[in-house]
């Protein structure tokens, strides 16, 4: 698996080099009379560098280009999708690909390379050179973790939101399934951890950016989500972080934590087990806005209670706050700096198959690892079962050009 992933990374580097070259021509002095011949909704190309002469146009994928093969010189993309110009036929991602953003108004045209042999139209830039969703592999755990596993097959799952606002369910075997067609970009928080509705299936909680409302999307037990139910009626945009945590209150029902932006207070919102939240309780009096990541990671220290992992922004340290009945205990340092190089943190339970909860991250551009560098490396930090983490393992290189994972 790793070999093929690394090979793909090398391919991407080539791809991106060509992409930026392909865009160098954009914005050159337009010859409006001819470029404007391209109809709305079409991608058009010409063999000349000023859009004169015979015009090629299409609004559908073209696996081969016939007499137009290797002739595109100036191009404009008046479709609402990304146009991928592949150097090879059949939309091959192995050769170079240059990408033209959707531009329905036809205001930006530019030069191509006379190397284009197929054209495809996709919803996200990423799909010009990678599958819509990344590969996710998880080992089968010896027992259910109670969270991180939407379809209850003992393998930890990930939900991925792409830049087009679609939601993908990654079941842990490298495959993915579309579970949300559109609209998910309207949410500015997406979290999950255990069952909030009371049916034993893991659910998703989302905050709607425009209204500050909190919505519960009940899990169907398959990776799909049911119709949303209102869980919090406005005001949630006052929270800088919202974490689906697991049970902290001690009643075996999943709870939520939230950091209040204005005060830095940490609040516990006990889940009722019927899709609602009870009266909140203060569990951290100040300073929580200084944390740049909060993860409901499950039971990291082996005492049977869910714990919280937090990254301190100023130091890049990782702290474990052990869950007690209705409160958090004294914190323990589990990562000694360097964690600011991480982009996302995922608490998914046991992904390595040893029965102990692990921590999964993706990286920022500053990351330099053994087999992957830059943005979008995926790392697994196996939990030791006593709160500590083992050394990272680089598990994938294609977790980038997306819009969040949880």
Q: Which stretch binds Ca ion (CB under 5 A): 48-56, 103-111, 119-127, 199-207?
A: 199-207
Shortest distance (Å) from residue 146 CB to Ca ion: 11
Shortest distance (Å) from residue 190 CB to Ca ion: 16
Binder among 93, 193, 201, 311 for Ca ion (CB under 5 A): 201
Select 49 or 303, whichever has its Cβ closest to Ca ion. 303
Question: Does the protein bind Ca ion through residue 149 (CB under 5 A)?
Answer: no
Shortest distance (Å) from residue 70 CB to Ca ion: 51
Select 62 or 305, whichever has its Cβ closest to Ca ion. 305
Binder among 98, 117, 301, 361 for Ca ion (CB under 5 A): 301
Binder among 103, 354, 390, 393 for Ca ion (CB under 5 A): 354
Question: Does the protein bind Ca ion through residue 197 (CB under 5 A)?
Answer: yes
Question: Does the protein bind Ca ion through residue 199 (CB under 5 A)?
Answer: yes
Mark residues 334-353: x for contact with Ca ion by CB under 5 A, - for none: ----------------x-x-
Q: Which stretch binds Ca ion (CB under 5 A): 87-95, 183-191, 200-208, 368-376?
A: 200-208
Residue 224 exposed, middle or buried by CB count within 10 Å (0-12, 13-18, 19+): middle
* 54 to 57, 290, 328: CA distances (angstroms): 10, 60, 70
Residues from 211 through 230 that contact Ca ion (CB under 5 A): 218
Select 30 or 194, whichever has its Cβ closest to Ca ion. 194
Question: Does the protein bind Ca ion through residue 397 (CB under 5 A)?
Answer: no
Select 241 or 305, whichever has its Cβ closest to Ca ion. 305
Shortest distance (Å) from residue 94 CB to Ca ion: 35
Shortest distance (Å) from residue 324 CB to Ca ion: 9
Binder among 127, 149, 157, 203 for Ca ion (CB under 5 A): 203
Question: Does the protein bind Ca ion through residue 253 (CB under 5 A)?
Answer: yes
Which 3-state string (H, E, C) describes the chain? CHHHHHHHHHHHHHHHHHHHHHHHCCCCCCCHHHHCCCCCCCEEEECCCCCCCCEEEECCCECCCHHHCCCCCEEEECCCCEEEEECCCCCCCCCCEEEECCCCCCCCEEECCCCCCEEEEECCHHHHCCCCCCCCECCCCCCCCCCCCCCCCCCCCEEEECCCCCEEEECCECCEEEEECCCHHHEEEEEECCCCCCCCCCCEEEEECCCCCEEEECECCCCCECCCEEEECCCHHHEEEEEEEECCCCCCCCEEEEEECCCCCEEEECECCCCCECCCEEEECCCHHHEEEEEEEECCCCCCCCEEEEEECCCCEEEEECEECCEECCCEEEECCCHHHEEEEECCCCCCCCCCCCEEEEECCCCECCCCECCCCEEEECECCCCCECCCEEEECCCCCCCCEC
Residues from 263 through 292 that contact Ca ion (CB under 5 A): none
Binder among 125, 208, 343, 358 for Ca ion (CB under 5 A): 358
Question: Does the protein bind Ca ion through residue 157 (CB under 5 A)?
Answer: no
Shortest distance (Å) from residue 206 CB to Ca ion: 14
Shortest distance (Å) from residue 389 CB to Ca ion: 10
Shortest distance (Å) from residue 326 CB to Ca ion: 9
19-45 per-residue burial string, b: 16 or more CB within 10 A, e: under 16: beebbebeeeebbeebbeebeeebbbb
Q: Which stretch binds Ca ion (CB under 5 A): 36-44, 64-72, 175-183, 254-262?
A: 254-262
Binder among 125, 162, 195, 343 for Ca ion (CB under 5 A): 195
Q: How many amino acids of this chain bind Ca ion (CB under 5 A)?
A: 21
Q: Report the C-alpha gap between 80 and 93 in whole angstroms.
A: 21
Select 291 or 380, whichever has its Cβ closest to Ca ion. 380
Q: What residues make contact with Ca ion under the rule CB under 5 A? A: 195, 197, 199, 201, 203, 218, 247, 249, 251, 253, 255, 299, 301, 303, 305, 307, 350, 352, 354, 356, 358
């Amino acid at each position: 698996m790793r070999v093929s992933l690394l090979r793909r990374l090398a391919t991407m580097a080539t791809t991106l080099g060509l992409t930026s070259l392909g865009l160098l021509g954009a914005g050159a002095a337009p010859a409006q009379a001819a470029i404007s011949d391209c109809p709305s909704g079409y991608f058009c190309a010409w063999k000349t560098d000023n859009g004169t002469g015979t015009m090629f146009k299409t609004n559908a994928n073209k696996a081969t280009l016939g007499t137009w093969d290797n002739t595109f010189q100036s191009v404009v993309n008046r479709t609402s999708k990304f146009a991928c110009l592949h150097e090879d036929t059949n939309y091959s991602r192995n050769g170079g690909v240059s990408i033209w953003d959707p531009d329905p108004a036809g205001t930006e045209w530019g030069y191509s390379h006379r190397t284009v042999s197929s054209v495809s139209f996709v919803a996200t830039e990423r799909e010009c050179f990678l599958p819509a969703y990344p590969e996710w592999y998880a080992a089968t755990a010896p027992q259910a973790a109670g969270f991180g596993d939407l379809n209850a097959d003992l393998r930890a799952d990930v939900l991925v939101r792409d830049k087009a606002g679609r939601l993908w369910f990654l079941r842990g075997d490298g495959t993915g399934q579309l579970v949300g067609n559109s609209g998910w970009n309207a949410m500015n928080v997406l979290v999950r951890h255990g069952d909030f509705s009371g049916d034993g299936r893991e659910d998703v909680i989302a905050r709607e950016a425009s209204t500050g409302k909190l919505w519960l999307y009940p899990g169907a037990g398959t990776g799909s989500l049911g119709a949303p139910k209102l869980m919090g009626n406005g005001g949630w945009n006052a929270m800088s972080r919202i974490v689906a945590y697991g049970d902290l209150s001690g009643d075996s029902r999943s709870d939520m934590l939230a950091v209040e932006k204005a005060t830095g207070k940490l609040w516990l919102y006990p889940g009722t087990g019927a899709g609602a939240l009870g009266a909140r309780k203060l569990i951290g009096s100040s300073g929580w806005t200084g944390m740049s990541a909060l993860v409901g990671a499950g039971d990291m220290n082996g005492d049977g209670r869910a714990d919280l992992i937090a990254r301190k922004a100023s130091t890049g340290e990782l702290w474990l706050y052990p869950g007690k009945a209705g409160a958090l205990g004294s914190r323990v340092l589990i990562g000694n700096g360097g964690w600011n190089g991480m982009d996302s943190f995922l608490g998914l339970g046991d992904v390595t198959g040893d029965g102990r909860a692990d921590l999964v991250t993706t990286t920022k551009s500053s990351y330099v690892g053994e087999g992957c560098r830059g943005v979008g490396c995926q790392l697994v930090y196996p939990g030791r079962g006593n709160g500590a983490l083992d050394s990272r393992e680089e598990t994938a290189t294609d977790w980038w050009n997306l819009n969040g994972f949880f």
